[in-house]
Amino acid sequence: MKEINLALSILLLFTSCSTFVPKQKKIKIKKEEKTNFCPLQAPTQFELIGKNKELQIDFLKFIKSHGTKLSPPEIFSLYAINQINYRPDLSSPMSQMMIIDMGPNYTHYYKTNESDRKPLLELVNTYLKDKKTKLTIKQIAYLYDKKYKYLPEVDQEFATFLKENASSIKTNDTYEDFYTRGNEVLRTGESLKKINILPLLEV
């Protein structure tokens, strides 16, 4: 049972067990013995809590270098689209997602529409428009594509997914380009190719 006590705006992203919260207030999280949440302390105004520690470390480095002037909704949107690169089997443009935006006197829910062609990206776009951010989703995608240089590695869970779906991956030109090396699917510890987001928005 996760209990988060916070008297400030909080954003929750439900695609692959991740939480994104401002760090100005103390946050108490009561964990079960088996949990997918791994707090990461870092010298930044935000704290990320999630299953993929590599994603958290890389993303916080990126924000420190290129995102210091971004608003919380803009940083959150970057974090959401960034997961497409780290666990494409769990988070893709076609993924369903829910955002919970909570403050002292409000709770706003944002949920993907199953009829959308790219539900995750459409929801991020709706969220940014609702928050009236300076940057549009295309501008955020451009920043991500040009400046985000970290290449994630295949973890054991994703390597298992690739191995189990090797035959399908090898018969798809796009998947084969991203997830194979030579005649074999990528293995644990090998680097993934980066998926640029802006082209996905323009398709």
Q: What is the pLDDT along the chain (203 residues), one digit of tens a residue?
A: 333 333 333 455 544 444 444 444 333 333 333 333 333 343 444 566 666 677 888 888 999 898 888 998 999 999 999 988 888 888 888 888 888 888 788 888 889 888 888 999 999 999 999 999 999 999 999 999 999 999 889 988 889 999 999 998 888 888 889 999 988 999 999 999 999 999 999 87
Tell me whether residue 194 is in a domain: no
Q: Is the dihedral of CA 49, 194, 172, 180 positive or negative?
A: negative
Q: Could you tell me if residue 162 is inside a domain?
A: no
Please state the domain count of the chain: 1
State residue 127's pLDDT score: 93
Whether 145 is covered by a domain: the verdict is yes
Pairwise CA distance, residues 71 & 20, whole Å: 13
Residue type, position 23, single letter:
K
This prediction's pTM: 0.74
> Is residue 186 a contact partner of residue 180, using CB atoms and an 8 Å limit?
yes
Residue 120 lies in a domain: yes
Query: Where in the sequence is the domain holding 108, given as residue range(s)?
Result: 10-152
Q: Is residue 177 part of a domain?
A: no
Q: Are 134 and 174 in contact (CB under 8 A)?
A: no
| pLDDT given for residue 31 in this prediction | 37
Buried b (16+ CB within 10 A) or exposed e, 38-52: eeeebebebbbbbbb
Rounded Cα–Cα distance for residues 149 and 138 (Å):
18
- Whether residue 143 is contained in a domain is answered as yes
Cβ–Cβ < 8 Å for 16, 91: yes
Residue 47 lies in a domain: yes
